[in-house]
């Protein structure tokens, strides 16, 4: 018996509640039980006994079900239909004002010992957290429906794919999960009779920050999220399963769950090279994954496999192979335009749920950085009338679009392939106004692990809290690692031994600024110019200079043709300032001190080597 069952036994001991006739409870044929899997049936029954919903609604992900739930959501004001001519199949949602981003301080890893969760995670004893959260969930769905959402993360039939069941009282979550995952029968089919599915329970409660917990129980493959209705807190297949539980399972099972986009670069001869890139939240993954090369690169094309999460394991040919477990994009809206990211604009043109952008009467939407000026009669993300003199943002900086991957014109043909795509390069990159050069290549895998582990980035609006402060964010996984960060870095080092043909490792920084606070590098589509150098390095086609940081291009190695840009700015973007680097190495102490018990010694040696090279 695990902790969950012990706590349940105690809570349900005196329960007299009977959940009868779930199969035929509604006149509506939708929502009837659609699985024979005993593990699922009995778990759903126990959760229903706790939450006491009026009805248990078994979702199948079908079109009629989607239409029914969308209508219901519109009736209840959860979704506002947009102008269907302009935005076919698109809806608008406003979250609670206090519930606009992930909340790291409410996120817990509940392992038997605090040491397993490690110094970078909030920890609680599983029995305590189960008691608290089942306590909060008791009767929480009275008078409401409990939706059962079966979903598959990863292509069907893939050895990397995982099944989850999310129970939720939020229609918004159901409709979003239908976009973000492969939902319905497909999940049951992958699971068969097995009980090896992720158990996810989500209760909105009163959406109060006081009673907000996102708790993970890796040993039980269980997630309980209460008190929020926002993105990464509640779409449990995403950060909770794919990264926190996923990273824990990956360590046990010999694979890697990473906060990485996956893209394929096709050259004019049709040769394709895939890379994966870990940038922290709101630091450019979606934009990079959907990059459209500038005119100079006629005949080149970038294909998107994924924009947020990669699951990777060594493939038959000894290379690291990656799948994107998701089926949709939950992307940052502000700043997205036909100039910056046409493929994202195409992706959100139809069948999209927009959250917390600005709304114009008549069913239009707007956000800062959109191609057109704000329309008349605009209401900000909080529903207040807005004008350009309001002095506040119309769209919340973390407003999001939720769109099916199939809307993306550049979706890679191998997106759904069960074996995934072979990864030639891994790219780390933070948001750094200073110090970090535009690009460098690590000397080898171990050095690359050090580069990723010590990555720093300025905090963004994707998580609640201060914005713009540099913090260490190892592999962009600080908020997403489901176990001890030191052990996670050890897992990275161990993977080297089972990957026969490891990818090359790089670091990029699109965000370095000049003395006047202007970005030194144009970014977006022009990142292709850096990506081209990276691809050429992966294929051994271009030389590089040895520097203290790693291998670097000379400014003349980056193709600037067709760009109205001063090469001196590129030289500044590539510059290494030894005095700044001494401070940077000292700033890494924050991480080294926090992790000192568990940090693999290789990383100490790498730091010493870097000091000796400077
Ligand atoms: P999550 O979905 O939170 O994981 O974010 P993400 O990593 O996918 O970030 P995204 O691509 O949505 O970009 C976030 C912000 O960074 C947006 O405001 C972009 O406009 C900006 N951005 C992306 N790429 C670049 C770039 O190359 N240069 C500059 N200056 N800004 C960029
Ligand atoms: C992130 O914060 O890294 C996101 C958005 O991708 S959320 O799904 O809310 O976590
Ligand atoms: Mn993300």
pLDDT tens readout for residues 182-210: 999 999 999 999 999 999 999 999 999 99
Q: Please report, rounded to a whole number, the percentage of residues in the chain having pLDDT higher than 90.
A: 95
pLDDT score for 11: 66
What distance in angstroms lies between residue 42's CA and the mean position of ligand 1's atoms? 43
Instruction: Outline where 398-456 has alpha helix (H).
Output: 445-453
Q: Please state at what angle helix 485-498 crosses helix 445-453, rounded to 10 degrees.
A: 160
Q: What is the DSSP letter of 427?
A: E
Task: Work out whether strand 213-217 and strand 182-183 pair parallel, antiparallel, or are unpaired.
Answer: unpaired
| Element at 70 (helix H, strand E) | helix 63-75
Is the minimum distance from the CB of 340 to ligand 1 under 6 angstroms? yes
Is the minimum distance from the CB of 402 to ligand 1 under 6 angstroms? no
Are 369 and 336 contacting, i.e. CB atoms less than 8 angstroms apart? yes
pLDDT score for 12: 67
pLDDT score for 5: 75
pLDDT band at 1 (very low <50, low <70, confident <90, very high): low
Is the minimum distance from the CB of 431 to ligand 2 under 6 angstroms? no
Q: Please state at what angle helix 38-51 crosses helix 126-137, rounded to 10 degrees.
A: 60
With 90 as the cut, is the pLDDT of residue 21 above it? no
The Cα–Cα gap between 484 and 116 comes to 5
pLDDT score for 574: 98
The Cα–Cα gap between 164 and 166 comes to 6
Q: Which atom of ligand 1 is nearest to the CA of 307?
A: 8
The Cα–Cα gap between 569 and 559 comes to 14
- Mean pLDDT computed over every residue of the chain: 95
The Cα–Cα gap between 54 and 19 comes to 9
What distance in angstroms lies between residue 277's CA and the mean position of ligand 1's atoms? 13
Is the minimum distance from the CB of 509 to ligand 1 under 6 angstroms? no
Q: Which residues neighbour 293 within 8 Å (Cβ) at sequence distance 6 or greater?
A: 300, 301, 302, 525, 528
Q: Name the nearest CA neighbour of 40 among 217, 170, 183, 167.
A: 167
The Cα–Cα gap between 418 and 313 comes to 12
Q: Which residues neighbour 15 within 8 Å (Cβ) at sequence distance 6 or greater?
A: 49
What distance in angstroms lies between residue 332's CA and the mean position of ligand 2's atoms? 9
The Cα–Cα gap between 375 and 381 comes to 14
| Element at 29 (helix H, strand E) | none
Q: Using most ligand atoms within 8 A of CB, pick from 294, 335, 370 the residue to mutate for ligand 1.
A: 335
DSSP three-state, residue 278: strand
The closest residue, in CA terms, to atom 23 on ligand 1 is 284
Which residues make beta-bridge pairs with 585? none
Beta-sheet strands, E only, within 246-377: 256-258, 261-266, 272-278, 301-306, 310-314, 320-323, 328-332, 353-355, 358-360, 364-366
| Element at 551 (helix H, strand E) | strand 551-552
pLDDT score for 26: 47
The Cα–Cα gap between 588 and 602 comes to 15
CA 273-278-115 angle, to 5 degrees, is: 135
Is the minimum distance from the CB of 452 to ligand 1 under 6 angstroms? no
Residues 269-285 have a mean pLDDT of: 98
Is the minimum distance from the CB of 510 to ligand 1 under 6 angstroms? yes
Is the minimum distance from the CB of 231 to ligand 2 under 6 angstroms? yes
With 60 as the cut, is the pLDDT of residue 14 above it? no
The Cα–Cα gap between 357 and 195 comes to 40
DSSP three-state, residue 254: coil
Q: Which atom of ligand 2 is nearest to the CA of 231?
A: 9
| Element at 183 (helix H, strand E) | strand 182-183
With 70 as the cut, is the pLDDT of residue 105 above it? yes
Task: Work out whether strand 198-203 and strand 162-168 pair parallel, antiparallel, or are unpaired.
Answer: parallel
pLDDT score for 2: 73
Place of tokens 């990669």: 310
Q: Which atom of ligand 1 is nearest to the CA of 336?
A: 20
Q: Which residues neighbour 474 within 8 Å (Cβ) at sequence distance 6 or greater?
A: 452, 453, 454, 455, 481, 485, 488, 489, 591
Q: Name the nearest CA neighbour of 256 among 310, 294, 330, 218.
A: 310
The Cα–Cα gap between 74 and 83 comes to 13
Is the minimum distance from the CB of 462 to ligand 2 under 6 angstroms? yes
Place of tokens 């195409």: 346
Q: Is the dihedral of CA 24, 26, 32, 36 positive or negative?
A: negative
The Cα–Cα gap between 10 and 131 comes to 9
pLDDT score for 28: 52
Per-residue pLDDT reduced to its tens digit, 304-347:
999 999 999 999 999 999 999 999 999 999 999 999 999 999 99
Q: Which atom of ligand 1 is nearest to the CA of 524?
A: 27
What distance in angstroms lies between residue 31's CA and the mean position of ligand 3's atoms? 32
What distance in angstroms lies between residue 316's CA and the mean position of ligand 2's atoms? 32
The closest residue, in CA terms, to atom 10 on ligand 2 is 232
Residues with catalytic function: 283
Give the other-Cβ count within 10 Å of 263's Cβ. Answer: 26
Q: Using most ligand atoms within 8 A of CB, pick from 232, 402, 431, 459 the residue to mutate for ligand 2.
A: 232
Q: Name the nearest CA neighbour of 286 among 342, 367, 351, 358.
A: 342
Which residues make beta-bridge pairs with 301? 266
The Cα–Cα gap between 429 and 511 comes to 10
Per-residue pLDDT reduced to its tens digit, 226-241:
999 999 999 999 999 9
pLDDT band at 4 (very low <50, low <70, confident <90, very high): confident
With 80 as the cut, is the pLDDT of residue 180 above it? yes
Is the minimum distance from the CB of 401 to ligand 1 under 6 angstroms? no
What distance in angstroms lies between residue 220's CA and the mean position of ligand 1's atoms? 35
Per-residue pLDDT reduced to its tens digit, 31-71:
999 999 999 999 999 999 999 999 999 999 999 999 999 99
Q: Which atom of ligand 1 is nearest to the CA of 280?
A: 7
Q: Using most ligand atoms within 8 A of CB, pick from 232, 261, 284 the residue to mutate for ligand 1.
A: 284
Q: What is the DSSP letter of 489?
A: H
Q: What is the CA 137 to chain-centroid distance, rounded?
A: 26
Q: Using most ligand atoms within 8 A of CB, pick from 95, 214, 231, 327 the residue to mutate for ligand 2.
A: 231
The Cα–Cα gap between 487 and 483 comes to 8
**Token code pair at residue 542:** 């271009």
The closest residue, in CA terms, to atom 20 on ligand 1 is 335
What distance in angstroms lies between residue 308's CA and the mean position of ligand 3's atoms? 5
What distance in angstroms lies between residue 280's CA and the mean position of ligand 3's atoms? 7
Q: Please report, rounded to a whole number, the percentage of residues in the chain having pLDDT higher than 70.
A: 97
Give the gyration radius of the chain's Cα atoms.
Answer: 24
The Cα–Cα gap between 160 and 262 comes to 16
The closest residue, in CA terms, to atom 4 on ligand 1 is 281
Residues 85-106 have a mean pLDDT of: 98
**Token code pair at residue 80:** 């506002």
Task: Work out whether strand 222-226 and strand 301-306 pair parallel, antiparallel, or are unpaired.
Answer: unpaired
**Token code pair at residue 282:** 């709101």
CA 272-288-262 angle, to 5 degrees, is: 50
Is the minimum distance from the CB of 523 to ligand 1 under 6 angstroms? yes
Are 199 and 137 contacting, i.e. CB atoms less than 8 angstroms apart? no
Is the minimum distance from the CB of 32 to ligand 1 under 6 angstroms? no
- Cα separations (Å) of 611 from 320, 403, 506, 585? 31, 46, 19, 8
Is the minimum distance from the CB of 102 to ligand 2 under 6 angstroms? yes
What distance in angstroms lies between residue 259's CA and the mean position of ligand 3's atoms? 6
pLDDT score for 29: 82
Is the minimum distance from the CB of 285 to ligand 1 under 6 angstroms? yes
């Amino acid at each position: 018996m695990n902790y969950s069952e012990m706590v349940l036994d105690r809570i349900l001991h005196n329960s007299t509640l009977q959940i009868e006739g779930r199969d035929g409870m509604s006149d509506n044929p939708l929502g009837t039980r659609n699985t024979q899997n005993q593990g699922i049936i009995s778990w759903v029954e126990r959760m229903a006994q706790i939450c006491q919903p009026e009805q248990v609604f078994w979702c199948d992900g079908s079109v009629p079900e989607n239409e029914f739930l969308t209508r219901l959501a519109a009736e209840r004001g959860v979704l506002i239909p947009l102008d269907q001519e302009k935005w076919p199949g698109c809806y608008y949602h406003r979250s609670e004002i206090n519930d606009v981003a992930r909340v790291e301080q409410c996120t817990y890893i509940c392992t038997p010992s605090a040491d397993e969760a490690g110094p970078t995670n909030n920890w609680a004893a599983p029995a305590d957290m189960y008691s608290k959260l089942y306590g909060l969930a008791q009767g929480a769905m009275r008078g409401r429906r409990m939706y059962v959402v079966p979903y598959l993360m990863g292509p069907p039939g893939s050895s990397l794919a995982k099944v989850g069941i999310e129970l939720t009282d939020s229609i918004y979550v159901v409709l979003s999960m239908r976009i973000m995952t492969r939902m319905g029968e497909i999940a049951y089919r992958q699971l068969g009779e097995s009980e090896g599915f992720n158990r996810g329970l989500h209760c909105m409660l009163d959406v109060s920050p006081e009673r907000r917990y996102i708790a993970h129980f890796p040993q039980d493959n269980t997630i309980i999220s209460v008190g929020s209705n926002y993105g990464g807190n509640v779409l449990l297949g995403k950060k909770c399963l794919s990264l926190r539980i996923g990273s824990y399972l990956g360590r046990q099972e010999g694979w890697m769950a990473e906060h990485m986009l996956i893209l394929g670069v096709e050259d004019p001869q049709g040769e394709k090279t895939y890379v994966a890139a870990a940038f922290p939240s709101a630091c450019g993954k979606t934009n990079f994954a959907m990059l459209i090369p500038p005119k100079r690169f006629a005949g080149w094309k970038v294909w998107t496999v994924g924009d947020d999460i990669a699951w990777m394991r060594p493939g038959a040919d000894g290379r690291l192979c990656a799948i994107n477990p998701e089926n949709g994009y939950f992307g940052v809206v502000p700043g997205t335009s036909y100039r910056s990211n046409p493929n994202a604009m195409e992706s959100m043109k139809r069948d999209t749920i927009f959250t917390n952008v600005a709304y114009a009467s008549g069913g239009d939407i707007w956000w800062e950085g959109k191609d057109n000026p704000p329309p008349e009669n605009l209401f900000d993300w909080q529903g207040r009338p807005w004008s350009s003199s309001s002095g506040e943002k119309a769209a919340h900086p973390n407003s999001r679009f939720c769109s099916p991957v199939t809307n993306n014109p550049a979706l890679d043909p191998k997106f759904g392939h069960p074996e995934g795509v072979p990864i030639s390069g891994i790219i780390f990159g933070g948001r750094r106004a200073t110090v970090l050069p535009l690009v460098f290549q690590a000397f080898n895998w171990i050095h690359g692990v050090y580069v990723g582990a010590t990555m720093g980035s300025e905090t963004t609006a994707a998580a609640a809290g201060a914005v713009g402060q540099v913090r260490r964010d190892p592999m962009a996984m600080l908020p997403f690692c489901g176990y001890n960060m030191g052990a996670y870095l050890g897992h990275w080092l161990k993977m080297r031994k089972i990957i026969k043909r490891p990818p090359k490792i790089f670091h990029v920084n699109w965000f370095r600024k000049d003395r006047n606070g202007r970005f030194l590098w144009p970014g977006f589509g022009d990142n292709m110019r850096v990506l081209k150098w990276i691809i050429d390095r992966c294929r051994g086609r271009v030389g590089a200079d040895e520097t203290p940081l790693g291998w670097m291009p000379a400014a003349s190695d980056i193709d600037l043709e067709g760009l109205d840009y001063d090469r001196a700015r590129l030289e500044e973007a590539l510059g290494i300032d030894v005095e700044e680097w001494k401070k940077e190495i000292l700033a890494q102490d924050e991480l080294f001190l926090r992790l000192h018990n568990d940090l693999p010694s290789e990383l100490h040696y790498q730091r010493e080597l870097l000091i000796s090279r400077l």
